[in-house]
Amino acid sequence: KNEHNDTTHELFKQKSSSNMSSPSPSSSSSSSLSSFRICTYNVLAQCYVKSEWFSWTKPKSLLKWKTRREHLRRRLRDDELGKVDVFCLQEVDEFENEWKEFIENELNMGVFYKRRTQKSNDKKDGSLVCWNKEKFELLDTLGVEFNEVTKTLDLDIKEVEGFEEEKKREYERDCVAACVMLLHKASNVPITCVSTHLYWDPAKALVKLKQAEYLREEIERWSQTKGNILIGGDFNSLATSDVYKSMVENDYVSLMRDNETGREPEYTNVTPSFTETIDYIFSSKNWIEKVTHRGKVKNRDLLFDGCPCEGEPSDHLPIYCDIELKKAAAN
């Protein structure tokens, strides 16, 4: 299921050596042909919505799927986000019935979806990447299942009966990542774009750290490089966490981190008891010229007692930025 397609890189070499015609400019908010906009957004799967879990949301009709669906669709194409070229979405459930046609026909984007595994529970949400077909051509896809991380663990302690199986269950949380390899047509640059969702539990920091490590290893093995990688997702981890540090210490940078202040957005997850930043857009180093624009999250006083609320159909906020590629990135 995580097998590498050897023909993909040969396909890219063939495309790189050919005289490709320049694509017509899209209506992207990033004006340069070497620029594009990426957004990550946990859309809150309806299977996790119960009125008692979101007691602050009023009126309660805002939690109904029919209402949330329309608000989410409106949010993905509103003026605030502008024209996004790559979406990384998490907690997408009912993909075939509720999302696929909307993305392909109304957003006019290509899409790859990876549903979560179901070893720990029967939830059927997942993560997806969708892309502007005028700017990008799909080369390959990969679904990463974090339950596989158990194969990398040191489980040699045999003194305690059942220890190995119990330890494995601790790491089998059914989290996944959707990965696509895209060719940026204007610059002829291959880019790996990933949408991921790490385990939620604050008490399981080591589980999340192992998931992050495994994700990097799988992406780099599959793409055969540490370059040209974008990872957007809900990392369920603060900027002070070991997960965040492990990304930075392994040659990834956070694109939403302000260069002047050194800070991430003030918050991406907003509830009465927890208002923090846990969603990020990470990039491998040395292939992006600059971040030309970072979207601002809404002022806290516009978010009522917490999200979901009027104008925000998820408990997370979307974050996005415009990036400009280095001219030498294709090399």
Distance CA 239, CA 299 (A): 20
Interacting residues of 325 by C-beta distance below 8 A, sequence separation 6+: 34, 35, 184, 187, 189, 287, 288, 289
Q: For 325, how many CA atoms within 13 A lie in the half-sphere containing its CB? A: 25
Is residue 244 classed as helix, strand or coil in its secondary structure? helix
| pLDDT reported for residue 324 | 96
The candidate with the shortest Cα–Cα distance to 135, out of 17, 31, 233, is: 31
Angle at 79 between CA 76 and CA 39, to 5 degrees: 45
| pLDDT reported for residue 154 | 73
Q: Sign of the C-alpha dihedral, residues 107, 47, 113, 250?
A: positive
Region 266-286: mean pLDDT is: 97
Query: How does residue 32 score in pLDDT terms, banded at 50, 70 and 90?
Result: confident
| pLDDT reported for residue 329 | 57
Strand-pairing partners, residue 129, are: 88, 112
| pLDDT reported for residue 112 | 98
Distance CA 241, CA 280 (A): 13
308 prior amide bond cis, ω within 30: yes
Taking all residues of the chain, what is their mean pLDDT, rounded to a whole number? 89
Backbone angles phi, psi at 245, to 5 degrees: -60, -40
Q: What is the rounded end-to-end Cα distance, in angstroms, of the chain?
A: 30
CB 75 within 8 A of CB 107: no
Distance CA 152, CA 71 (A): 41
The candidate with the shortest Cα–Cα distance to 133, out of 100, 104, 171, is: 104
CB 174 within 8 A of CB 121: yes
Distance CA 17, CA 153 (A): 42
| pLDDT reported for residue 33 | 81
| pLDDT reported for residue 10 | 44
| pLDDT reported for residue 266 | 97
Q: Sign of the C-alpha dihedral, residues 211, 217, 221, 223?
A: positive
Relative to beta strand 275-276, strand 189-197 is unpaired
C-alpha 291, offset from chain centre: 18
The candidate with the shortest Cα–Cα distance to 107, out of 79, 74, 148, is: 74
Query: How does residue 159 score in pLDDT terms, banded at 50, 70 and 90?
Result: low
Relative to beta strand 252-254, strand 269-270 is unpaired
Summarised one tens digit per residue, pLDDT across range 101-132 is 999 999 999 999 999 999 888 999 999 999 99
- Please tell me the pTM assigned to this model: 0.89
Summarised one tens digit per residue, pLDDT across range 34-66 is 899 999 999 999 999 999 999 999 999 999 999
Query: How does residue 136 score in pLDDT terms, banded at 50, 70 and 90?
Result: very high
